[in-house]
């Protein structure tokens, strides 16, 4: 995996989403890392336009896993198993953001191991982390703001 940021199952799932034209956003720390934030994350947070889209099941099956859409807070939405593993989290109600359509319209398109992905911009990640207000979210805001400052002015140096 030295040449890849993704495990094979994760890569297969994202590739299948791309091939099936399923709209989604990478959000959270994973999106921030892709934009240069000096963070570490254990998973990939995905926000889907429609968790009831049958193509999500197809993508999971193609990648050797399963997609469970969840049920009104009684069971969380999940994707994983088999080759996918347990490193993909499905975000159902991100804090501090507009509708999926609005956020998707202002998202960034990036290349992740040869797959075109849509990523929530740093400004919006910061807004979401502030709105969530959890200690673990608030703790990373300085690193996100430093990455944003470097992104806006590549000549700027982040404080160590």
pLDDT in tens, 111-124: 999 999 999 999 99
* pLDDT tens, residue by residue, 2-33: 467 788 999 999 999 999 999 999 999 999 99
The second-level CATH assignment, the architecture, of 8-147 is: 2-Layer Sandwich (3.30)
Contact of 18 with 111, CB cutoff 8 Å: no
CB 131 within 8 A of CB 96: yes
Q: Are 84 and 60 in contact (CB under 8 A)?
A: yes
pTM of the model: 0.90
């Amino acid at each position: 995996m030295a040449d890849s940021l993704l495990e094979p199952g994760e890569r297969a799932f994202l590739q299948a989403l791309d091939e099936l034209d399923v709209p989604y956003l990478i959000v959270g720390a994973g999106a921030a890392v892709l934009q240069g934030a000096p963070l570490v994350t254990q998973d990939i947070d995905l926000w889907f336009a429609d968790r009831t889209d049958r193509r999500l099941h197809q993508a999971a099956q193609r990648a050797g896993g399963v997609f469970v859409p969840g049920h009104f807070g009684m069971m969380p939405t999940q994707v994983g198993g088999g080759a996918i593993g347990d490193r993909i989290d499905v975000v159902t109600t991100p804090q501090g953001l507009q509708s999926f359509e609005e956020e998707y319209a202002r998202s960034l398109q990036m290349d992740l191991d040869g797959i075109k992905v849509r990523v929530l911009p740093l400004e919006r990640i910061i807004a979401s982390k502030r709105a969530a207000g959890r200690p673990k979210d608030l703790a990373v805001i300085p690193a996100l703001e430093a990455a944003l400052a470097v992104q806006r002015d590549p000549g700027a140096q982040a404080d160590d």
